[in-house]
Chain A
Amino acid sequence: GNSVTQMEGPVTLSEEAFLTINCTYTATGYPSLFWYVQYPGEGLQLLLKATKADDKGSNKGFEATYRKETTSFHLEKGSVQVSDSAVYFCALSDRNDYKLSFGAGTTVTVRA
């Protein structure tokens, strides 16, 4: 079956630090990969996505590259801000039925 493993948190950083959150996956087919973000008190929002190998998704300074050879989709941002404090979820979709499988989530706190 499909599964997603992401690095455990919590992660605490200072403003302008480099952020990376590791995500690896197991899938039987050719999934799409996603990063969702959940700000305090809110639902999940799509941050970025990639639909095939070597695609790079990017948004709000965040990037992630779909690496089929290492089955990974690591999230990176070069210079974080306090407003990036949130829970980040890696996910994959099974294109046969459009369901999403989520990782456990990583809580990121950015201090001024």
Chain B
Amino acid sequence: DVKVTQSSRYLVKRTGEKVFLECVQDMDHENMFWYRQDPGLGLRLIYFSYDVKMKEKGDIPEGYSVSREKKERFSLILESASTNQTSMYLCASSITGGGETDTQYFGPGTRLTVL
């Protein structure tokens, strides 16, 4: 089974803090994604990565950055957390090719509260 893990289930930070959310997948997937989930808005893509050291902006990248130094790990960084970044953050991964490229596997999510 594909396993995607996220470093924390719940996180509370203060405005202005630098926040790191970590995601690790164990299936050698090339593609990794960060979403935020808000009620009534579904999931919105923040950033994604097709390969190590490669990143592309999603639909709502403002206020976020990412890092992918190793294939299995994709980090989301909030440089200076703000209250409007309080949300559920979901990481996902997918493989390239073999007819399964567009099937994404999700981690359990990190519920971040910024005070």
A89 touches B48 (CB 8 A): no
Q: Is A43 part of the binding interface, using a Cβ–Cβ cutoff of 8 Å?
A: yes
Chain A residues with Cβ below 8 Å from B94 are 98
B104 at the interface (CB under 8 A from A): yes
Q: Are B42 and A105 in contact (CB under 8 A)?
A: yes
Is the CB of A45 closer than 8 A to any CB of chain B?
yes
State the Cβ distance, B45 to closest chain A Cβ, in Å. Answer: 6
How far is A99 from B101 in the complex, measured between Cα atoms in Å? 10
B residues contacting the other copy or chain, number (CB 8 A) = 25
A81 interfacial by beta-carbon distance below 8 Å: no
Interface bits A4-15 vs B (CB < 8 Å: 1, else 0): 100000000000
Q: Which DSSP category, helix, strand, loop or mixed, fits chain A's interface?
A: strand
Q: Which residues of chain A are within 8 angstroms of B48 by Cβ–Cβ distance?
A: 99
Whether A44 lies near B90 (C-beta < 8 A) is yes
Q: Does A19 contact B (CB under 8 A)?
A: no
Among A71-110, those with CB < 8 Å from B are 89, 93, 95, 98-100, 102-105
When the two chains form their complex, are residues B108 and A43 in contact, meaning their CB atoms are under 8 A apart?
yes
Report how far A46 CA is from B2 CA in the complex, Å: 12
Instruction: Evaluate contact between B42 and A98: CB separation under 8 angstroms.
Output: no
- In the complex with contacts A49-B103, A95-B102, A100-B104, A89-B109 CB distance below 8 A: no
Task: Check A89 against B103 for contact (C-beta < 8 Å).
Answer: no
Is B106 within 8 A of A45, CB to CB? yes
Q: Is A69 an interface residue (CB 8 A)?
A: no
Asked if residues B42 and A104 are in contact (CB atoms below 8 Å), the reply is yes
What separation, in Å, do the CA atoms of A42 and B111 have in the docked complex? 11
Q: Any chain B CB within 8 A of the CB of A32? A: yes
Q: Is the CB of A104 within 8 A of B31?
A: no
B103 touches A99 (CB 8 A): no
